[in-house]
């Protein structure tokens, strides 16, 4: 898994630490998506990456979807808001506790995988 997909996975699992997932985060996140193996999980992450990063919605019907697309479909209704929530999640994941900012050394690699325009506040 490369590019923005690890951050999207962390977002979907609601991870509290960068690069780590607790068993509870994993179980809750994969249960919500209704995935029990890696191929459907990768499909879900790929669909979200296409939507949020490449601004291209995935064309799949409920009959062919290998995961529960409820969350995905809610994001398609307002992609800008979904991206904003993803961006805020990444920012909060990367910043040290008790800080309002993240270091440039941390921000630069994370933002490489984000769209060129950050959401306006």
Residue 61 maps to a domain: yes
Confidence band for 19, pLDDT divided at 50, 70 and 90: confident
Residue 55 maps to a domain: yes
For the cut 90, the answer to whether the pLDDT of residue 73 exceeds it is yes
Residue 63 maps to a domain: yes
The confidence score (pLDDT) of residue 31 equals: 96
Alpha-carbon gap, residue 22 to 32, rounded angstroms: 15
Residue 117 maps to a domain: no
The pTM assigned to this predicted structure is 0.80
Collect all residues with Cβ–Cβ distance below 8 Å to 33 and sequence separation of at least 6: 12, 40, 41, 44, 67, 68, 71
Q: Which residues pair with 20 in a beta bridge?
A: 17
Confidence band for 77, pLDDT divided at 50, 70 and 90: very high
Q: Please, where are the H alpha helices in 2-78?
A: 5-13, 23-33, 38-52, 70-77
pLDDT, tens digit, 9 for 90 and up, residues 33-46: 999 999 999 999 99
Of 18-27, 42-51, 64-73, 94-103, the one with minimum mean pLDDT is 94-103
Residue 52 maps to a domain: yes
**Which residues constitute the domain of residue 97?**
5-112
Residue 119 maps to a domain: no
Residue 9 maps to a domain: yes
Residue 121 maps to a domain: no
For the chain, how many structural domains are there in total? Answer: 1
């Amino acid at each position: 898994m490369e590019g923005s997909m690890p951050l999207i996975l962390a977002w979907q699992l609601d991870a509290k630490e960068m690069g780590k997932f607790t068993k509870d985060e994993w179980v809750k996140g994969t249960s919500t998506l209704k995935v029990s193996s890696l191929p459907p999980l990768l499909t879900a992450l790929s669909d979200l990456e296409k939507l949020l990063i490449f601004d291209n919605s995935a064309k799949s019907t409920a009959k062919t979807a290998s995961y529960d697309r409820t969350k995905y479909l809610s994001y398609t209704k307002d992609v800008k808001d979904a991206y904003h929530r993803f961006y805020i999640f990444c920012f909060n994941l990367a910043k040290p506790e008790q800080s309002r900012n993240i270091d440039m050394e941390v921000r630069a690699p994370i933002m490489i995988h984000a769209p060129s325009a950050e959401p306006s506040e």
